């Protein structure tokens, strides 16, 4: 008999949900994380009474009532609705692409006029069977929107040509012919009142956790502590990079505290021109309707990931997908290891999807 039923590597959402559900089943869990805090990428740090999303802005959204009720059982969510703006050449446009955007671009006032304008541009492009992000974007919204609001942003975000990127990335954004600036189509949306750390604390309440410990510094000893390993770190690192390194995009965050109450009047403003090195400016207080005297803003600079940096976005192109499949084949053969989450599944997961995946996993394990 080993000391723990589960050793959970990573105190992000996947690890925390798994630990919570396993503990509910009477299992003994130990959660470790190499960072000096819990929560993984949803972790917030308080500055001037404002919850600063330390690893990038996080807006919770889901269509699944079970997942919405689940997160609300740990912390109440506010009514925040994400409605970012895009700044292109000094002009502001509403996102996602909707009647407000079409009016700002073309002065069209009806859905019929907007659709006709897009159809005309799509027809001119000649694209009928989109094979990559550029073709997908043009065939959805036409060339004007692609050139002004997508190409520059996408190419700096991913460090790759839009023609080399998978089409699915752009399908994340809604396109609608109503005057509705809600960035998501999901039924439920919001930010935890008091910040995301409350969600993490609720999930991990009463569970043994150790921070600032790297699993790989002493892999064998950690493995010997528990019957089963739940691994939410890098799958390629777990297998000593034997098939090569999986690629990621990383981000550099430049935070500034400003001595004014309201810098940009919105939580998210995207900068879609390629010559501006950051992709967006986040003003954190607006996620919680803050009324503090000061404000904290963050500029997000995308960059290529190298060892030692935080790996934020998996690059799910053909090459990396093929490499990941090789690791996945090894993972599938493991009897006492569960791989889960953004890094271990090398998947561009949102929070609700990670929670859904962790709940599905525990359901299967404890059925
Ligand atoms: P993580 O949160 O990355 O947790 C993995 C943990 O494992 C980390 O804490 C890491 O330190 C630890 N770990 C790794 N290796 C080791 C090791 N060797 N030893 C010990 N510990 C280890 N989702 C949304 O729904 N809405 C959003 O608006 C949104 N915005 C985002 C913005 C950005 C910039 C990014 C990058 C992501 C965003 N997401 C958003 C996605 C969201 O962050 C993830 O879906 C979710 O947090 C992933 O949880 P996870 O547990 O899989 O991974
Ligand atoms: N995107 C864009 N222009 C924008 C916002 C997004 O072209 O103003 C594209 C870009 O390729 C991005 C993708 O849409 O990677 C998905 O955007 P989302 O806001 O969902 O990205 P995330 O929040 O995950 O960074």
Which ligand is located closest to the Cα atom of residue 172? Answer: 2
Distance CA 194, CA 106 (A): 41
Note whether 148 and 206 are same-domain residues: no
Q: Are 281 and 269 in contact (CB under 8 A)?
A: yes
Domain of 128 in residue numbering reads as: 100-169
**In whole numbers, what is the pLDDT of the chain averaged over residues?**
97
Please say if 300 is a catalytic residue: yes
* pLDDT tens readout for residues 209-230: 999 999 999 999 999 999 999 9
Q: Are 100 and 94 in contact (CB under 8 A)?
A: yes
Q: Are 282 and 241 in contact (CB under 8 A)?
A: no
Model pTM score = 0.96
**Residue 285 located in a structural domain:** no
| DSSP string covering 146-190 | IIIIIHHHHHHHHSS-GGGS-GGGGGGS-B-SSS---S---SEEE
CATH of the domain at 12: 3.40.50.720
Q: How many CB atoms lie within 10 A of CB 262?
A: 13
**Residue 118 located in a structural domain:** yes
**Residue 11 located in a structural domain:** yes
Please say if 249 is a catalytic residue: yes
**pLDDT for residue 1:** 87
3-state secondary structure of 301: strand
**pLDDT for residue 53:** 98
The verdict on whether omega for the bond into residue 96 sits within 30 degrees of 0, i.e. cis, is: yes
Segment 150-176 shows an average pLDDT of 94
Please say if 69 is a catalytic residue: no
Please say if 280 is a catalytic residue: yes
Please say if 242 is a catalytic residue: no
Distance CA 311, CA 330 (A): 22
**pLDDT for residue 172:** 86
Give the number of domains in the chain.
2
Please say if 160 is a catalytic residue: no
* pLDDT tens readout for residues 296-349: 999 999 999 998 899 999 998 899 999 999 999 999 999 999 999 999 999 999
Segment 22-34 shows an average pLDDT of 98
Note whether 42 and 150 are same-domain residues: no
Given pLDDT bands bounded at 50, 70 and 90, which one contains residue 45?
very high
The active-site residue out of 46, 91, 120, 172 is 172
Protein residues whose CB sits closer than 6 Å to any atom of ligand 1: 9-15, 32-35, 40-42, 56-60, 214-216, 232-233, 251, 312, 341-343, 349-352, 354
Q: Domain boundary residue among 169, 199, 214?
A: 169
Note whether 215 and 76 are same-domain residues: yes
**Residue 181 located in a structural domain:** no
Note whether 13 and 121 are same-domain residues: no
Q: Are 276 and 155 in contact (CB under 8 A)?
A: no
**Residue 85 located in a structural domain:** no
Atom 20 (ligand 2): residue with closest C-alpha?
172
**Residue 303 located in a structural domain:** no
Distance CA 157, CA 59 (A): 19
Tell how far the Cα of 169 is from the centroid of ligand 2, in angstroms.
7
Note whether 234 and 325 are same-domain residues: yes
* pLDDT tens readout for residues 266-304: 999 999 999 999 999 999 999 999 999 999 999 999 999
Name the β-bridge partners of 313: 249
Strand locations in the chain, DSSP E?
4-9, 29-32, 44-47, 50-53, 60-62, 85-88, 91-94, 188-190, 208-210, 226-231, 248-258, 268-271, 280-283, 295-304, 313-314, 337-339
**Residue 279 located in a structural domain:** no
**pLDDT for residue 81:** 98
* pLDDT tens readout for residues 117-137: 999 999 999 999 999 999 999
Protein residues whose CB sits closer than 6 Å to any atom of ligand 2: 86, 95, 149-150, 153-154, 157, 169-170, 172-173, 270, 272
Note whether 40 and 132 are same-domain residues: no
Q: Domain boundary residue among 114, 142, 169?
A: 169
Tell how far the Cα of 142 is from the centroid of ligand 1, in angstroms.
33
Place of tokens 């990127």: 165
* pLDDT tens readout for residues 77-96: 999 999 999 999 999 999 99
Note whether 9 and 147 are same-domain residues: no
Distance CA 333, CA 338 (A): 11
Note whether 195 and 59 are same-domain residues: yes
Q: Are 95 and 84 in contact (CB under 8 A)?
A: yes
The packing angle between helices 133-145 and 99-106, to 10°, is 50
The packing angle between helices 151-158 and 133-145, to 10°, is 140
* pLDDT tens readout for residues 136-152: 999 999 999 999 999 99
**pLDDT for residue 367:** 87
Given pLDDT bands bounded at 50, 70 and 90, which one contains residue 202?
very high
Closest CA to 215 of 34, 71, 355: 34
Q: Are 333 and 222 in contact (CB under 8 A)?
A: no
- For residue 131, CA distances in Å to 38, 84, 163, 229 come to 40, 28, 8, 39
Distance CA 99, CA 317 (A): 32
Note whether 149 and 233 are same-domain residues: no
**Residue 132 located in a structural domain:** yes
Tell how far the Cα of 12 is from the centroid of ligand 1, in angstroms.
6
Segment 92-106 shows an average pLDDT of 98
């Amino acid at each position: 008999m080993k000391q723990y039923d589960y050793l959970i590597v990573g105190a992000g959402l996947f690890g925390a949900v798994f630990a919570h559900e396993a503990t509910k089943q009477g299992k003994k869990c130990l959660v470790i994380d190499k960072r000096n805090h819990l929560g993984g990428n949803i972790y917030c740090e308080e500055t001037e009474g404002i919850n600063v999303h330390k690893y990038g802005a996080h807006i919770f959204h889901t269509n699944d009532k079970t997942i919405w009720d689940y997160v609300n059982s740990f912390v109440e969510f506010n009514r925040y609705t994400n409605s970012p703006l895009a700044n292109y050449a000094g002009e502001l446009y509403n996102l996602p692409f909707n009647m407000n955007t079409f009016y700002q671009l073309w002065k069209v006032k009806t859905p019929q006029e907007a659709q006709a304008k897009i159809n005309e541009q799509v027809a001119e492009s000649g694209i009928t069977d989109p094979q990559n992000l550029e073709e997908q974007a043009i065939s959805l919204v036409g060339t004007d929107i692609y050139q002004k609001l997508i190409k520059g942003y996408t190419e700096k975000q991913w460090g790759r040509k839009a023609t080399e990127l998978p089409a699915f990335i752009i399908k994340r954004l809604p396109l609608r012919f109503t005057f509705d600036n809600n960035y998501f189509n999901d039924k439920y949306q919001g930010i935890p009142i008091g910040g995301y750390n409350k969600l993490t604390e609720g999930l991990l309440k009463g569970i043994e956790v150790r921070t600032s410990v790297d699993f790989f510094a002493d892999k064998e000893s950690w493995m010997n502590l528990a019957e089963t390993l739940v691994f939410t770190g890098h799958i390629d690192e777990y297998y000593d990079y034997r098939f090569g390194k999986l690629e990621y995009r990383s981000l550099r965050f430049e935070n500034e505290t400003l001595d004014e109450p309201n810098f940009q009047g919105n939580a998210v403003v995207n900068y879609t021109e390629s010559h501006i090195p950051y992709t967006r400016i986040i003003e954190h207080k607006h996620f919680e309707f803050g009324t503090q005297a000061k404000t904290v803003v963050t500029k997000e600079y995308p960059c290529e990931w190298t060892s030692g940096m935080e790996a934020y976005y998996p690059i799910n192109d053909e090459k990396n997908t093929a490499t990941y499949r090789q690791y996945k084949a090894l993972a599938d053969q493991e009897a006492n290891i569960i791989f889960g989450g953004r890094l271990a599944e090398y998947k561009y997961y949102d929070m609700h999807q990670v929670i859904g995946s962790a709940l599905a996993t525990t359901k299967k394990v404890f059925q």
